[in-house]
């Protein structure tokens, strides 16, 4: 039971802070201004880990590699803590590979959350000052789908289809992780 509680708490903390690091990376890549409440919140959550890493990890074009590394290190730290509590059932050499898959799953979760927020805001508060930010972040995901999906009765199905595709990607990623771990 202690392991389950610890695992749950670590999952929440890493999803929150690691997801914010990935959101920071994505917002910078999409050139979303950080002067809005979302940007300020992301900075407040992630500056403690990203800013020290930025001194040693340079950006790669538009991509803030320090934010990506921060998210990866958080996921890896969670796995190391759980590995230590479990009594080292899995060889430690597998943990960096497992962390890569967990980071990809975290990215899928981040995009899923973005799409849900975007869809709910478009129904409940379409004129919110945060709506342009949500639209800008979700546009690369839903715009290609909008070109192929007709709007039915004024309802845009592209966020729903994107959510389904993200879930499928998560399933494929889980299967791929199992295959890779079997090969190692």
Eight-state DSSP code of residue 36: S
Nearest-angstrom CA–CA distance, 150 and 142? 13
Q: pTM for this structure?
A: 0.92
Count CB neighbours of 93 within 10 A.
8
Which of helix, strand or coil describes residue 7?
Answer: helix
Nearest to 42 by CA among 10, 67, 61, 7: 67
Quote the percentage of the chain above a pLDDT of 90.
Answer: 75
**Largest Cα–Cα separation, the chain:** 56
What would the pLDDT profile of 109-121 be if each residue is shown by its tens digit? 999 999 999 999 9
Is residue 136 within 8 Å of residue 26, measured between CB atoms? no
Is residue 62 within 8 Å of residue 29, measured between CB atoms? yes
Count CB neighbours of 141 within 10 A.
19
Is residue 15 within 8 Å of residue 109, measured between CB atoms? yes
Is residue 146 within 8 Å of residue 56, measured between CB atoms? no
What pLDDT score does 84 carry?
83
Is residue 21 within 8 Å of residue 49, measured between CB atoms? yes
Nearest-angstrom CA–CA distance, 70 and 150? 40
Nearest-angstrom CA–CA distance, 63 and 84? 33
Q: Quick check: 181 pLDDT over 80?
A: no
In degrees and rounded to multiples of 5, residue 69 shows phi and psi of -65, -40
What would the pLDDT profile of 40-98 be if each residue is shown by its tens digit? 999 999 999 999 999 999 999 999 999 999 999 999 999 999 888 876 667 778 889 99
Eight-state DSSP code of residue 93: G
> Average pLDDT in the 3-16 region?
94
């Amino acid at each position: 039971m202690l392991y389950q509680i610890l695992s749950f708490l670590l999952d929440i903390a890493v999803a929150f802070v690691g997801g914010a690091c990935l959101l920071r990376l994505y917002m910078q890549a999409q050139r979303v201004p950080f002067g809005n409440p979302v940007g300020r919140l992301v900075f407040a959550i992630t500056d403690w880990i990203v800013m020290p890493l930025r001194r040693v990890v340079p950006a790669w074009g538009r991509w803030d590699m320090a934010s990506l590394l921060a998210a990866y290190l958080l996921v890896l730290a969670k796995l190391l803590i759980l590995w230590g509590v479990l009594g080292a059932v899995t060889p430690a050499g597998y943990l960096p590979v497992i962390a890569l898959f967990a980071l990809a799953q975290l990215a899928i979760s981040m995009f899923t959350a973005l799409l849900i927020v975007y869809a709910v805001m478009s129904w409940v508060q379409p004129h919110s000052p945060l709506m342009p930010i949500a639209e800008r972040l979700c546009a690369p995901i839903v715009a290609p789908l909008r070109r192929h999906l007709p709007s039915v009765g004024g309802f845009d199905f592209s966020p729903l289809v994107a959510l389904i595709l993200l879930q499928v990607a998560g399933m494929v990623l889980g299967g791929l992780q199992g295959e890779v771990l079997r090969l190692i």
